[in-house]
Chains A and B, each alone.
Chain A
Amino acid sequence: MTVVAISVNSMNKFYGGFHALKDINLEVARGEKVVICGPSGSGKSTLIRCFNRLEQHQSGSIEVMGTKLDDNVDHIDEIRREAGMVFQNFNLFPHMTILENCTLAPILVRKKSRQEAEKTAMQYLERVKIPDQAAKYPGQLSGGQQQRVAIARALCMAPEIMLFDEPTSALDPEMISEVLDVMIGLAHEGMTMVCVTHEMGFARQVADRVIFMAEGSIVEEAPPAEFFDSPKNERTRAFIGQVLGH
């Protein structure tokens, strides 16, 4: 039995006259891990940002956890509560401590008590292995630590789905693995994940499906073994060659 987490039907997105996403059809099952890759400008970040209305699509439909994404603000809020997002630039709130970053939305949006929210936050901070930094400000942490806090912050909202938008692209090489470790742990626990990333090792290890995008379209999608070993499309082959070829 599979329950659909995200379902996208003939969705199109324009920036003015520019056709950014072309006729996207995609279904992500509950518990599934999907990695989206592709050259820069292919629309992969735009696609993932359409899932929680950080970008607005112009035609077609998007449904997240059974809620239709339309202009109804209640629907948008519902979806945003259920889909946590991790950004390339962390986007922690610099004027709040790590703990406050993690408790703000649960208190305001989920209406939790401060005590309860702090308890949950400390659990997640422990899971990303930085409980001792709770009283510090984001600016006092390294990039890898900040990104792990960002993951904990999203998890504190108890989301059904986690969206990762190039979570390791802004990190120094030695910090990438500490973030990937957290993501792998999350995957093993059965979280539904959609990751835009260039980390092909991660894709091979945890993805159920890899999607390759180019020029605003989904060019190929396949399980990782098939995707990496026998890609069908020529552009996919070229891309894999570039990413893995040296």
Chain B
Amino acid sequence: MTVTVIPQDIFLGRIRRHYFSNWANTTVSVAFTVVSVWILWNLIEWAFFDAVFEPDQRQQCEAATGACWSVVTTRWRIVLFGLYPFEEQWRSALACLVMLVVAILSCVPFFWNAKRLPVLWLAGFVTFYVLMRGGVFGLTPVFEQKWGGLSLTIFIFAAVSLLGMPLSIVFALLRRSELPWISRTMALVIDTIRSLPLLSIMFTFAIVMPFVLPGWAIGDKLYRVIVGYALFFACYQAEIIRGGMQALPVGQEEAAKALGMSYWHRIGYIILPQAFRNALPPTINQFVITFKETSLVTIIGFFDVMASGRAASGTAEWSFAVIEMYVFVALIFFVFVFSLSRYGAYLEHRLDVGSR
């Protein structure tokens, strides 16, 4: 005997079973639906129906009851590029685009290779730097103090990742050294840096370091901050990688040893690839945190995307529209962090093939 079930009945039946099974459930369900719809409706009304979108409509904005997106459409360039010279902002935009392409390309399995991925990132980073800084190929030099907005945030994030990732692998390997004095020293360094707030590390590198370092090693404040941040990142990431290594069965390294593989071959072909796979969820987490915490650089006088947003709505003319500006900045962060998380989920799914 065959039973035919109408799909709609399953759907309605499930709704009835889960949300309207008794008097109390029904009350809660109805109450929450009403409140959610009310909130959503007000939000949509504020953000779309009653909002002002056209640039330079301050008067109209003040009269309107909805959001004043006019502040974003008027001053978005400050958010994206900070104090970067107006006529040169195409370079900043192009630089961001280059980094975006690099990020997308590194999602393609073709580049998942210990040689191709570093080359890709290094090439992308150098292109980014040359475009931003100029001084070659007939580009007007623009000094780091003028950098700002989203491009500065991306620059700091990319530089910290590029510097911090190899450093974290070195730290993790030193931490695992068979020589006790090396592994203990590394453990002490990692624990010390991890116990300091990121802010104090940035301060130290930006303000204290110039007194300590010899003149030739001081460099721009931006680079000192990046080095400090990369060090901080590397210490956390090293522990994540070490965790991934410790999750491996001892037999893996023994089998590689028994085949006569050298230390570097064992690390490069057997240990690290598996450790990275084990450590993927916390690694993505670490990247998300690192991206968001770039906004701490405002404290030492850099205009990242967050600070630029505040500056863009900080004039007397637009100060009433500060919420809209923050929503816009939040949206930028969301787009980046959400894509990062989704990419992480995709990676996890894809790398799962071998472990099934």
Contacts and interface: CB of A to CB of B under 8 A. Distances in A.
A94 B261 contact: no
Contacts of A140: 356
Contacts of B265: 108-109
Contacts of A163: 258
Contact of A139 (B256, B262, B277, B355): B355
Most buried by A among B256, B258, B273: B258
Given A94-B355, A137-B353, A104 B260 contact: no
Given A105-B260, A108-B265, A157-B260, A54 B354 contact: no
Interface string B227-259: 000000000000000000000010110111111
Interface stretch (A13-21, A80-88, A178-186): A80-88
Interface in A61-105: 77, 80-81, 83-85, 87, 89, 91-96, 104-105
Contacts of A95: 273-274, 277, 354-355
Contact of B259 (A80, A94, A137, A139): A80
B338 interface: no
Nearest to B270: A93
Given A94-B274, A137-B354, A140-B356, A87 B251 contact: yes
B258 A52 contact: yes
B166 to A, nearest CB: 21
A96 B254 contact: no
Contact of A89 (B249, B257, B259, B274): B249
B233 to A, nearest CB: 26
Contacts of B90: none
A213 interface: no
A94 B278 CA distance: 12
Contact of A80 (B258, B273, B355): B258
A91 B254 CA distance: 8
A44 interface: no
B143 interface: no
Contacts of B269: 104, 108
A27 to B, nearest CB: 22
Interface string B144-171: 0000000000000000000000000000
Interface residues of A, number: 29
B274 A80 contact: no
A94 B269 CA distance: 12
B259 A157 contact: yes
A148 interface: no
Given A95-B273, A137-B356, A85 B258 contact: yes
Nearest to A77: B260
A28 B249 CA distance: 31
B354 A80 contact: no
B129 to A, nearest CB: 35
B354 A87 contact: no
Given A93-B270, A94-B355, A95-B277, A87 B254 contact: yes
A89 B249 CA distance: 10
B258 A84 contact: yes
A162 to B, nearest CB: 11
A139 B354 CA distance: 7
Contacts of B354: 94-96, 137, 139
A210 interface: no
Interface in A10-53: 52-53
A109 B255 contact: no
A89 B355 CA distance: 16
Given A94-B354, A95-B274, A108-B265, A87 B260 contact: no
A77 B273 contact: no
Contacts of B255: 85, 87, 91-93, 150
Contacts of A105: 256, 259-261
Nearest to A153: B259
A108 B251 contact: no
Interface of A: 52-54, 77, 80-81, 83-85, 87, 89, 91-96, 104-105, 108-109, 137, 139-140, 150, 153-154, 157, 163
Interface of B: 249, 251-252, 254-262, 265, 269-270, 273-274, 277, 353-356
30 contacts: A52-B257, A54-B257, A54-B258, A80-B258, A83-B258, A84-B259, A85-B255, A85-B258, A87-B251, A87-B254, A87-B255, A87-B258, A91-B249, A91-B252, A91-B254, A91-B255, A93-B252, A93-B256, A95-B354, A95-B355, A104-B259, A108-B262, A108-B265, A109-B259, A109-B265, A137-B354, A137-B355, A139-B354, A139-B355, A157-B260
List the 5 closest A-B pairs by CB distance, nearest first. A91-B255, A91-B251, A105-B259, A80-B260, A85-B258
Given A94-B274, A137-B355, 16 more contacts: A54-B257, A54-B258, A80-B258, A81-B260, A91-B254, A93-B252, A93-B256, A93-B274, A94-B354, A95-B273, A95-B277, A104-B259, A104-B261, A108-B265, A109-B261, A137-B356
